[in-house]
Amino acid sequence: MEVIIQPDALAASSLVARLVASELRANPYLVLGLATGRTMERVYQLLVAMHREEGLDFSLCRTFNLDEYVGLPPTHPGSFRYYMNEHLFKHVNVDPRNTHFPDGNAPDLEAECQAYEAKIRRFGGIDLQLLGLGRAGHIGFNEPLSALRSRTRVKALTPTTIEQNAPFFGGPDKVPRRAITMGVGTILEARRLILLATGSEKADIVAKAVEGPITAMISATALQLHPRCTVVVDEAAAARLQGSEYYRWIFENEPEWAPFRQHQP
C-alpha cells in the first residue's frame, strides 16, 4: 500500500482524477470500478473538466459501480445510478451501455449478485477500482464483519451508514435498509485500487484502515492485502497516521510518482 498526502481536499481529488486519466489514456478500454459518496464528487467534476478541456476520452471505457441500494428505481435521486449520471456519465462521452450497476430491483437478488460477478469476469476483471471510505471503515457497503473473501451480495446497512447517507434522501427514515455491494474479495481482485478520503472526520478511520490490524470489523483494512493499492488523503484525513514522514518521502522521491508531483490544481 502507498499513502499519498496532499495539502487539501482539492489537491487530493485532483491527484486521483489525474491517476484515473493517466490509466484511461494508457488503456482506452479500461474497466473502471466507480464509487459514490460526497468525497468522489470533486473527482468526477475534475474528470468532466479534463474531458471538456483536454479531450479525455471515455468512449471505449467500461464501468462497474461498487454498489446500489435495494428497491430504489434508477431514476430515484438517491440511487447510485442517478448519482453517476448526474456527476459523470451525462457530462462525458461514455457509452451508457458500457456502464454497469448491480440491479437492486431484480426479482431474484441472489441471482443478480452472481450475474454481476459473472459480468465483471466476462469483461476481464476490473483494471482500476476507485474507493471511498465509509465512516465506520467500509468500502462499498461492506459493513462490519463482512468476510474478507466476500463476493457481491446483499448487505443490511448499519445505523452509522444510514445516518451518513441520510442527506441524499432527506432523512434517515427514507434511506433503504439494504444494498447490493461488491464483496471485499471482489474488490481485492481489481488490478489496482485507489482509495480517496478527505476531511478531519475521516482521520481516525484512515489511521485504522492503513496502519491498524486487518479485521473484518473494518473492511478497508483488507486493502493492506492488495499488491497495488494507493490511498490518497488530505492533511486533515492524514492527521492520525504514524508513518506520514515516510509516506511523504516515498511520494517525493520514487520515480513512478514524478509525473504526479507538485501539480497546482
Task: Write out the residues near ligand GLP by the rule CB under 6 A.
Answer: 35-39, 66-67, 132-134, 140-141, 161, 165
What is the closest distance, in whole angstroms, from the C-beta atom of residue 116 to ligand GLP in the complex?
Answer: 15
**Dist. CA 195–CA 175, nearest whole Å:** 24
Which grid coordinates belong to 182?
461488491
Q: Which residue has the cell 502507498?
A: 2
Residue type, 225: L
Judged by CB, which is closer to ligand GLP: 39, or 98? 39
Look at the chain and count its residues. 265
Element (H, E) at 192: strand 192-197
Q: Do residues 54 and 22 make contact, with C-beta atoms less than 8 angstroms apart?
A: no
What is the closest distance, in whole angstroms, from the C-beta atom of residue 202 to ligand GLP in the complex?
Answer: 7
End-to-end CA distance of the chain: 25
Task: Enumerate the β-bridge partners of residue 181.
Answer: 67, 153
Judged by CB, which is closer to ligand GLP: 49, or 162? 162
What is the closest distance, in whole angstroms, from the C-beta atom of residue 59 to ligand GLP in the complex?
Answer: 26
**Dist. CA 165–CA 218, nearest whole Å:** 18
Q: What is residue 126's three-state secondary structure? A: coil
Judged by CB, which is closer to ligand GLP: 168, or 247? 168
What is the closest distance, in whole angstroms, from the C-beta atom of residue 1 to ligand GLP in the complex?
Answer: 17
Judged by CB, which is closer to ligand GLP: 30, or 220? 220
What is the closest distance, in whole angstroms, from the C-beta atom of residue 223 to ligand GLP in the complex?
Answer: 12
**Dist. CA 242–CA 20, nearest whole Å:** 28
Judged by CB, which is closer to ligand GLP: 98, or 219? 219
Q: Do residues 4 and 247 make contact, with C-beta atoms less than 8 angstroms apart?
A: yes
Judged by CB, which is closer to ligand GLP: 14, or 39? 39
What is the closest distance, in whole angstroms, from the C-beta atom of residue 140 to ligand GLP in the complex?
Answer: 5
